[in-house]
Structure 1
Amino acid sequence: MRRRHRCSTWSCIAVDVQCQRLATHDGPHGASPTPTHDRHWSWTDDDPNAITVLPGTVWFHRPDRTRIKKAARLLGEWTAYGLVAALLWWCDSWAAAAVFLALELLLSVRRAHFVDLGRFTAGVWPVTPAAPPLIFGVAFATHGEGRNAKRAGLEVILGPVVVGAFSLVPRSDWPAYKRSQAAFEAQQKELHP
């Protein structure tokens, strides 16, 4: 793996920050006070005392360290979950431990996962940020918008995630959907033999 080096240039004494860009960058130097700050300072080699404040974040990330930190955090979390599951198994039953691990795995979902079973699909996905906060909820998935839309399946909201099973298209539209899907696959095979 190639190491990424940070630019070694410092700004003027008034701000006194090191450039957060890569050592081989083009253009002006830049630095943000924190990794999530929405603005950054910018200056050039010609005049390091002329500092401008611009929108956006400029922060040097070391990918090797961030991956190690993320892996260590995940290892720590799952070690704790394993210890709790072992304690539940020892004190109660294997079913309690399995339910605990399944709920932890379910509630840790950060992106959508689906399994297609012919005309039907089942999956788990995070709740949209615009949705009202719920601890538990049950809803119907529909084909289309409005009150007259046909029901497609069932969704269960469990805090930050939704678990659902529903049909992809109504039964009457399934043959036309399969034909269009087969035509699309044939077209893809012609383009990419």
Structure 2
Amino acid sequence: MEPIRCPWCEGFGLYRDYHDREWGTPLVDDRALFELLILEGAQAGLSWSTILKKREAYRLAYEGFDPAVIADYGEADAARLLADAGIVRNRAKVAASIRNARAYLELAATAGSFTDYLWAFVDGEPLQNAWTSMAQVPASTPQSESMSRALTQAGFKFVGPTICYAFMQAAGMVNDHLVSCFRHGQVKGLRRIA
């Protein structure tokens, strides 16, 4: 018998696997958090399933999401990305990804760990929710609004409060699995480990 899952992940196997193995699990790796932030920005106006299907192509196109490499991208690299059918070819999103790599490096030089910087918005531990329906799950929260303001001030683009909240959900900064979902209890038992 199939376990009960959050209804948003039903539709295809890759989506269910992402839900079952990644979404809501505390993420504490600087590079992985940077990748997720770029992908969440790329998702703006699209479905997460679209980005998930393109994630491996993104990893290739962005050379493993190394911020130091991406920060050095110039016009030729932007043109290469815009010609890559494996990713979302949106000029503003591509430009933002390069700008975000530069902002990441500037932030890392002053704030240190990107992980510590981001997790500070939830006081270092995942926020635990107990939603019974998708209608209860907010699009943004005071924490995501605060994160959005801080990242924008630091020079990041495509980091509005809704994008930041989706990022927080995916990175396990908040447990938004429905209480009926088999992952809710599993994720509830996880803590940030760094």
Q: TM-score, normalised by structure 2?
A: 0.21
Q: Give the structure with the higher percent strand.
A: 1
* TM-score, reference length from structure 1: 0.21
Q: Indicate the structure (1 or 2) with the bigger Cα radius of gyration.
A: 1
Greater helix content: 2
